[in-house]
Structures are given as structure tokens and as C-alpha cells.
Structure 1
């Protein structure tokens, strides 16, 4: 019974993982044109060929990559900075203040993306709070003169929404590891003449890089494959790839679901490929860094 106990504890995770794996396999099979409910029983790559041959696909992939990369990089930088400030705050104040600050950081993580889109529209639209404040301050002659941040081809509104969600996630993800680093390492560096900033970049940050890399891959994969914010805040042309897949899935002709699943398959392949490349690059960098210290 003791041997089975760990598996019993993991059974909910195994069950959910199995459901997820079955869903992915089902989507991949449907992307090959096998959907018996719609009298589609022949496996074919024609749907992938049709999607890949569409010039709009490359524009959609470019939009999704741009949104995911820019938002992930900015979120990682902002999240690490927030995490560093929290760790510094823990050393200067009581544990109660530190706990309250971490609770505040946790709030954006819990807010749904649809609500985030609502906040972004209220604040950054041409009729939103920021444009009205600038109009009241005399910075613009009318609210309509406020820059068009939302629904543009540069996906600025989508990126703002992702940063608001992902930067706190990175901070919360890295916080426990950064807080566990021995303070004596930084003290030793400062005794040898290093500034606090040099101590952070040469000691704390390299030690946290493996955790930061994992956080980057997670938020990049999510931002590349998510559709809520691009659907609500993104441009109508070119659409992000997940949005285009969603539109094909909701097409009145149910046979178009094979095209949607083919797009989802492309999203999965691109995400896995980029994650593998990024993982390989970080591992190679860690080996080089390890040889350097040896």
C-alpha cells in the first residue's frame, strides 16, 4: 500500500494530464481530416497544405510571434525588477508588509483575461480614462487626438494586457528562489568593492537564470497560443493565429473545423520548436558559464 501511496496522490494530476493528452491527440487527428461526425473519414494533409499556402498565415504567425516575444521580454524584465524590490523590501521591513506586497502582486494573476481586456479598454482607448486626463491637462486638444493604442497592427493593446498579467507572474514565480539566495554572497561582493547593482547582475541574476528561463518559456507559449486578448484588443487584419483558428472553428460550415485544427497543429509545432530551441540555447549558455567559473 505504501508503494501505491505516491501514485494515489498523483492520480488527479495524472487524470487531468490524460484528458489533456487525449484532447491534443483528438485535435491532431481532426486536423488530418478525420471527423466521423461530419462524414469525414479520410486522413489527408490537404488541410495543412491549404493553410500553409494561404499568404495570410504568415502575417498571422508574424503577429502572434511579435506579440508573444515583445510581451514576454518586457514581462520578464519587469517581473525580475519587481521580484528584486520585493526581496529587498523583505530585508528592510517586517514580514507583514512583505506578505501584503506579495498578495498585491498575486491579484493580476487571478484576474481573467477578458476582465484585463475590459480594464485596458477603459484606460487606454480614445474615450478612456487616460485620454480624458490628458485632455483635462491640456496635453491633447480633444480625446480623439489621443494616440490609437488599441486595435492596431502593432498589437500594443494586447501587449499591455499581457504585461499586466505576466510581469506579476514572473515576479511570483522567481520570488521564492531569489529570496532563498544567501545574503552573504552579496555581502562578500560588496566587501570586495562591488556596488549593489553589480552584485545583483553578477551574482543574483545568474543564479536565478534557470528559473527565469522557465518563466519566459511558459509565458511565451501561453501568449503565442492564447486568443482572448488578441480577439478583444487586436487588429482585424492581420489577425493573430489563434484568433484565426477560433474563427475557422466557429464557421457555420462545420467541415471548416479541420482547418481550425490544422492551425492549432501549426501553433503547437511552432511553440514546441521555439521552446526546444530556447531550452537548448539556455542549456548551452549555462555550460559555457559553468566552464567560465571553473
Structure 2
């Protein structure tokens, strides 16, 4: 019992500091979102700021934009990531492919991913120059503006470059540990490769697919740097809007920023709960 408890006891001082900073900041943000901000003379709790934010057209547009980016990028990343994992499983040169996929995109910071997408997809980037050089477009300005647009194509492209390898590695780990006898039995019963994948492998990897989706959705929903660097002027992604409200010269705008932050925190907690449920589902399948 002492050996089991010793690591947790040793972590207590660090956890007190970390959780103390995190929880105190969360409590202060929550109080300010309710209108209690003594620095500017606000001493009464009110739901006025929540009502104004939740009914604001700007907030609703930002919320819809953030949900759109997160949902589209996560769905595409999961779909392509699963296909990539399955192709790696069937490849004869797995190790080289795995190392290339894992080391390059996953370890690269998102800011670098934003610069990469900008250098490729901007109207002066690599792709327009290539299309111009082979005669597909007559001028580089004819290339559609994929960055800073309301469809968030640049943001989604950057997320996909980062998220597809992550999903592929998570799913491949599960696929590589599935007993090959299951696929062999299905083949012996007359199933083709497509049927083996959809009726044998896919049900087994579905919990890991679900957990991967929740992770990348939660990250892209709460991420700040890519929407800030590649996003349109309007609508702003929700984290960017919170930052703009927070940095407003007028401290009277601080409660509005904290309301948005608390909404982001609430959504994150829901996603954490869903992840825990999916993890329980994975454990159930592994028994």
C-alpha cells in the first residue's frame, strides 16, 4: 500500500501549486463573468453579461464558425486518418511510413503549420506558382483566395495536416494489436477485404475513433493560434473573440471576455466527460 501511495504523495506539493493556480484563475474568471470585478467598481453578481453575450449576433456567428471549423476538420481528419491507418497496416513497408507520418506533422507546432499553409495556399504561394507555371491559370491572382475567407479553408487545411497523422497513429495502434485470426476467419467464410474492414475491424476500432474525434474536436474548438493567423476578419473564432474582448483597453469589457471563456470551459468539460465515456467503452471492448 505504501509503495502504491508514494508516487501520489510525492506529487501532492506540485499538484497543490498547479491546481491552485488553475482553480484560482477559474474562480476569478467565473466571478468576473458574473459581474464581480472590484477593480472597476463592480461588486454585485448579475447574469446581465451572460444574457448580452448569448443573445449577441457576433457571439452566435463566432460560435457557429468555431463549431463549423472543428466539426469539418475533425470529421475529415478521422475519415482520412482511419484510411491511412488501414493502408499502413496493409503496407509491406510499415516502419518507414510510420516514422515519416509520426515525426513530421505531430511534433511540428501549429504556428509552423500556419506558415506552411500560408506558403502553399496563398495567392503568392507554392501552389498558385505551380499552376501558373504549367499554364492552368494565366495569373496567380486567378487562384482562389483560400486564406482569411469565411469558409475557413486555410484553418481547416492546417488542422488536417496536424490531425490526420494523429488519428492514424491512434487507430493503427489498435489495428496492429487485433488478432489476425479474426480477419483470416472472415476471409475463410467468403468475406472480401471491404467486408472484413467494415464488419470485423471497424467495430473493434470504433471506440478509438470516437475518442480521437473528441480529442481533436476539443482542441480545434478551443485553439487560438490558427484561427488568429489564418482566420477571416469576420466572423472570428470564439477563442479569438475572447482574446479581443480581453485585450480591449476598456476594463468594462473584461466580463464579456470571461463569459466567453467560461462557455469554452463548459464545452471542454462536456468533451472531457464524453472522452471518459469513450475510454470506458474502449476498456469494455478490451476485456
TM over 0.5: yes
Q: Compared with structure 1, are the counterparts of its residues 24 and 172 closer, same or farther at alpha carbon in structure 2 (3 Å cutoff)?
A: farther
Pick aligned residue for 2:109 from 97, 108, 112: 112
Q: Does 1:242 align with 2:243?
A: no
Question: 1:178-230: per-residue Cα shift (whole Å, max 9, x none)?
Answer: 21100110111111111112111111111011111011011111111112111
Q: Compared with structure 1, are the counterparts of its residues 200 and 71 closer, same or farther at alpha carbon in structure 2 (3 Å cutoff)?
A: same
Match of 1:254 in 2: 251
Q: Does 1:7 align with 2:4?
A: no
Secondary structure of 1:150's match?
Answer: coil
TM-superposed deviation, 1:128:
0.5
Task: Give TM-score scaled by structure 2 length.
Answer: 0.87
Distance 2:67 2:273 in 1: 16
Match of 2:34 in 1: 32
Task: Give TM-score scaled by structure 1 length.
Answer: 0.85
1:80-159 aligned at under 5 Å gives the runs: 80-89=82-91, 92-93=92-93, 98=95, 100-106=96-102, 107-159=104-156
Pick aligned residue for 1:78 from 77, 80, 85: 80
Distance 2:83 2:11 in 1: 35
Q: Does 1:213 align with 2:210?
A: yes
Match of 2:227 in 1: 230
Distance 2:236 2:39 in 1: 29
Q: Does 1:179 align with 2:176?
A: yes
Distance 2:185 2:62 in 1: 50
Match of 2:49 in 1: 47
Question: 1:29-80: per-residue Cα shift (whole Å, max 9, x none)?
Answer: 2212233444433322121122122111111111111100000000001111
Distance 2:196 2:232 in 1: 43
Question: 1:73-119: per-residue Cα shift (whole Å, max 9, x none)?
Answer: 00001111121122223xx34xxx51x43232222111111111111
Distance 2:220 2:25 in 1: 20
Q: CA RMSD in A?
A: 2.6
Unaligned runs of at least 5 residues, structure 1: none
Which segment drifts farther, 176-185 or 264-273? 264-273
Match of 1:191 in 2: 188
Secondary structure of 2:3's match?
Answer: coil
Native 8 Å contact 2:35 2:45 kept in 1: yes
Q: Compared with structure 1, are the counterparts of its residues 12 and 79 closer, same or farther at alpha carbon in structure 2 (3 Å cutoff)?
A: farther
Which segment drifts farther, 12-21 or 25-34? 12-21
Which segment drifts farther, 269-278 or 132-141? 269-278
Distance 1:108 1:26 in 2: 37
